[in-house]
Amino acid sequence: MMDADDSVSGLFLATLFKALERHQAFAVRSVYVRDRAVVRAFLERKVTLENYVAFYGSVLVVAPRVGFPQFQNVLVEDGLATLAVMHWRGGSLPVINAEYRISLHSDSYCASHGHTFTDRYRKHLAQVDSIAQSFGDMSLAPIFQHLYETRLEMSARFDSHVSEGGLMDYHEFVLEQSDCSERTEVQMA
């Protein structure tokens, strides 16, 4: 899946074809960009359920069409596909160095100040069983539930930030929250 305002490098396809010689399925490195500057990136060498949900962004996967779920018209549809392919391939996937650049700009819904997904996350969280059923695999329900719970929690925190007069957009907020979480973990250790 590729949005019209996102981009890839000139070597993206060549890198994918080379990786297909070594892997049946894999993830590509996601890089969020604003005004040609990297805002944040998924830097892990493997994508797992835990590091995926902690990233609060897209990490796209490449897999054979027969091993890829049908598109679902729900919030975080790319994330559900990533989690399903990862689950079906043993719980993790290698990440290759082919950058998928996600462009953040003033017209981007999730980059715009004050936009929220909280109600839709709550709605989809209540529907995880039917979403997993539409994927044809009920064992995906707890994985999808975990994804929607983490997204709902961050979205609700962002709503509070906005209602208290905060000026960060969603991606800036997520980055700050991640930095605060990492500092707290280091202090506790």
Between the CA of residue 65 and those of 39, 132, 142, what are the distances in Å? 31, 18, 24
**Could you tell me the pTM of the whole model?**
0.85
Is residue 7 over pLDDT 50?
yes
Which is nearest to 168 in space by CA: 111, 107, 105, 109? 111
pLDDT in tens, 121-180: 999 999 999 999 999 999 999 999 999 999 999 999 998 998 898 888 787 888 888 766
Calpha distance 103→100 (Å, rounded): 10
∠ Cα 42 45 50 (to 5°)? 65
Question: What dihedral do alpha carbons 141, 143, 144, 150 form, nearest 10°?
Answer: 140
